Amino acid sequence: MGPYLIRRAGLMALTLAVTSVLVFVIIQLPPGDYLTTYIEELRAQGEMVPPERIDYMREQYGLDRPLVEQYLVWAGGLLVGDLGYSFEHSVPVRALIGDVFILTLVVNVATVLFVYIVAFPIGLYTATHRYSVGDYGLTFLGFLGLATPNFLLALILLYLSNRWFGTSIGGLMDPEYLDAPWSIGKVLSVIEHLWVPVVVIGTAGTAAMIRRLRANLLDELHRPYVTTARAKGVPPTRLLVKYPLRMALNPFVADIGNLLPQLVSGSVIVSAIMSLPTTGPLLLRALAAQDYYVAGAMLMFLAVLTVIGQFVSDVLLAVLDPRIRLGGGLAK
């Protein structure tokens, strides 16, 4: 395990390094830069910008440097925890996205827990009670969850939560806590508002996970080793938990590597509709304004989630399934 962890740590570092280059290049691909966009906005408002001011601002923001030097400055700052300076908001990126990252992690961790807690027992039940009334009913709900647009479900739940529970519409907390420091009241307000975005974002993932677990478990239940175990008198519950269920859980564990970044990137529309202070709307605005320090920090955050998730899923798969070997090749 030790050598494997060292190799994976090196591979993760290399992956993040290559990703940082790709992120920087992609952000720089659109013509112009932040200053170009800013000057066009000023001119659209009828304000003339003298060339001396343009040159001064370009030098101040470091946009007059070669792209290689700009990348090295940005990447070197990432290594020491300096995320750069937001051109648009005129504040350090760390100060701008600090609470945004925290709230994004809270929403997505809660969503992952919701997906697994709901999908696991339902998938297990539908596989072991195939073609029953419960199976048909839960399968119908699963298809309904897959077919319902997230933004429509968000609007419905926002209305119901406000009408039934008096919860303020939009955001992750009551308006009086927006600029207030963290306190017990602010935490309770976040918890009160959290269930709506968790249900909205997690519905499609839960429905897909139920279908996948059901299909895999049904496949395992018809394997010859299950028939042999039943013939030997192994109790049904022990047989289910010890063999087929462990094998059917592989997709659950393998999805960890993709689930977190998918939730972060896939909830942009929902975040915009529900006015959630998460990374999605901020990333869209940063990309539109070519504020590459903010956009780069957001995209690297997704990359870190991806490589860490893949690492965790690989290790858990090796623990869960003895047929999988960390070092590759055939077991001796």
Which residue did the predictor score with more confidence, 245 or 138? 138
> For residue 160, is it within any domain?
yes
The whole-number pLDDT of residue 25 equals 86
Mean pLDDT of the chain, nearest integer: 78
> For residue 243, is it within any domain?
yes
> For residue 256, is it within any domain?
yes
The whole-number pLDDT of residue 328 equals 53
pLDDT digits over 195-214, tens only?
Answer: 888 888 888 778 878 888 88
> For residue 123, is it within any domain?
yes
Containing domain of residue 178, as a range? Answer: 98-287
Best mean pLDDT range from 37-41, 166-170, 287-291: 287-291
> For residue 154, is it within any domain?
yes
Residue 260 has pLDDT above 70, yes or no: no
State the CATH number of the domain containing residue 256: 1.10.3720.10
Handedness of CA 257, 260, 264, 267 (dihedral sign): positive
Q: Which amino acid is residue 177, in one-letter code?
A: Y
pLDDT digits over 56-108, tens only?
Answer: 777 766 777 788 888 888 888 888 877 777 877 778 888 888 777 777 778 87
Q: Position of tokens 């299909």?
A: 215
pLDDT digits over 158-197, tens only?
Answer: 778 777 877 766 677 777 777 677 778 777 877 877 888 8
Q: How confident is the model at residue 332 (pLDDT cuts 50, 70, 90)?
A: very low
pLDDT digits over 264-278, tens only?
Answer: 655 677 777 777 777
Alpha helices in 174-267 (DSSP H): 184-221, 224-231, 236-242, 244-248, 250-254, 256-266
SS3 category, 92: strand
> For residue 223, is it within any domain?
yes
**How many structural domains is the chain composed of?**
1
> For residue 128, is it within any domain?
yes
Q: How far apart are CA 177 and CA 190, in angstroms?
A: 9
Q: What is the mean pLDDT of residues 3-9?
A: 79
> For residue 13, is it within any domain?
no
